[in-house]
Amino acid sequence: MGVVIFTLQNLVSQLWIIPIVEFKKCIAKLETLLTRYAFLCDFEYGSNGGLMDSEIEHFRRELKNITSEILGAHSILPKLGKWWLKKLYGIDIIKAKTEILILSAVVSTKRDIEKEKPRSETAIENIPKYLNFPEIKYKMADIL
């Protein structure tokens, strides 16, 4: 009987708990990444002698990587776990994925910076809404 209980506990852990923990880790990584680098939407790639270029490249690369991690972690969640995240926590992974990928493509591009309301700023505003975490400060005036 002990073996059956142990097996059931292990099965619940492997199929339910571990995927949710992995998904939450990915979301936390994304939140940290956005909090750390969101101000980059105010800088144009190649300006100021390329002072921020390496940071911009790192941010873009990390956004793409974390998007892959989040999608992978989300795909292995049980259906009930996906439902739970969407209905009870308000997490819309599909809309968030789109915004993250757009952000990784347009952040700090000359074309985006020149717009009255840059698309990267809109993405930084939308991502927290779709993933249900606090608003991210992205303007230098908001940070200081």
Domain boundaries, the chain: 2-143
Instruction: Kindly report the average pLDDT of the chain as a whole number.
Output: 87
Share of the chain above pLDDT 70, in %: 94
Tell me the pLDDT band of 144, cut-offs 50, 70 and 90: very low
Q: What is the pLDDT of residues 7-32, one digit of tens each?
A: 778 777 777 788 888 999 999 999 99
- pLDDT winner (highest mean) among 11-15, 77-81, 103-107: 103-107
**Nearest partner of 55 among 73, 39, 78, judged by Cα:** 39
pLDDT-wise least confident of 40-49, 67-76, 124-133: 40-49
d(CA 76, CA 35): 27
For 105-135, give the DSSP string.
HHTT-HHHHTSSS-HHHHHHHHHHHHHT-PP
Q: What is the pTM of this model?
A: 0.82
Local confidence band at 139 (pLDDT 50, 70, 90 cut-offs) = low
Residue-level pLDDT at 9:
80
Report the pLDDT averaged over residues 131-139.
79
Helix (H) or strand (E) holding 9: helix 2-12
